[in-house]
Amino acid sequence: MSFKKSPFTFSLLCFGFAFLYIPIFLLMFYSFNYSKVVPVWGGFSVRWYVELFQSEEIWSAVGLSLQIAIMNATFATMLGALAGIAMARIKRFRGRTLFSGMISAPLVMPEVITGLSLLLLFITMAEIIGWPSRGITTITIAHITFSLAYVAVIVQSRLVGVDESLEEAALDLGAKPYRVLIDVTVPLLAPALAAGWLLAFTLSLDDLVIASFVSGPGANTLPMLIYSRVKLGLKPDVNALATIIILIVAIGVCVAGWILSRQEKQRMADMQMAEAEKYDFSDEPQSSR
């Protein structure tokens, strides 16, 4: 089925791209503004980039956000992978419906409810056992709590399309279950695990609401710092930081696209080679006769 090109559909496409990317281009443009007032153009300058690299407050928040995001992505990937494997491979067990609902609940739960409930939990635990103190630990635990649900869904979706006969063959050949998990299941899940890790990393780096509830004194992540500056008056050095982040993301997307393109070309070349060998093999008996 083919769709005809029309000015209406083309204009909708242009409007969609403009709606998405014009604000980003404006932000990057005003990062080179000399004026302290963001929307007032005062001439081209890299003044705010210089101030950005001299700001200890911003880089401290960036370092804290990256530290939390890496720990969250790592632990959420491990726990979410185990949950996803259990849901995909263990077909029947007592409480499966409840377990499935508990895994899916953080996906649809409002962040305000999640943040408030975790705050009450951490306060109660601190009163009873004296741990944890509100700060980087509580933010990391809170992020792992909702990020592992996303990883579990990705891993479960990946395993649904994987043939179980590969794992069964390994078991029939005498491999222990943990060796099957390490040598067969995990390599098959590598794309899903990578996608889940990156998604958990992004969710943690972008979170504001939950981190605002469970953070403590001196534990300001980058979204919290930017939001506090918006209330007091935004300085253009934040535009400079956002521009750097956009460039890093754009470079990452280009590199990933280049790698995927090379892999696709290699796959097509391997398929053509296999077809050629199959054709030569099928013609060999005829030539011998």
Q: For 201-212, how does the pLDDT look when each residue is reduced to its tens digit (9 = 90+)?
A: 999 999 999 999
Burial state string for 22-38 with b = 16 or more CB within 10 A and e = fewer than 16: eeeeebbebbbbeeeeb
- pLDDT tens digits for range 110-149: 999 999 999 999 999 999 999 998 999 999 999 999 999 9
What is the value of pTM for the model shown? 0.85
Place of tokens 């609940």: 105
Residues 6+ apart with CB under 8 A from 170: 179, 180, 183, 184
Over residues 211-235, mean pLDDT:
87
CATH architecture of 57-235: Orthogonal Bundle (1.10)
Closest C-alpha to 149, from 70, 71, 72, 221:
72
Over residues 264-277, mean pLDDT:
82
Query: Collapsing DSSP states into helix, strand and coil, what is residue 159?
Result: helix
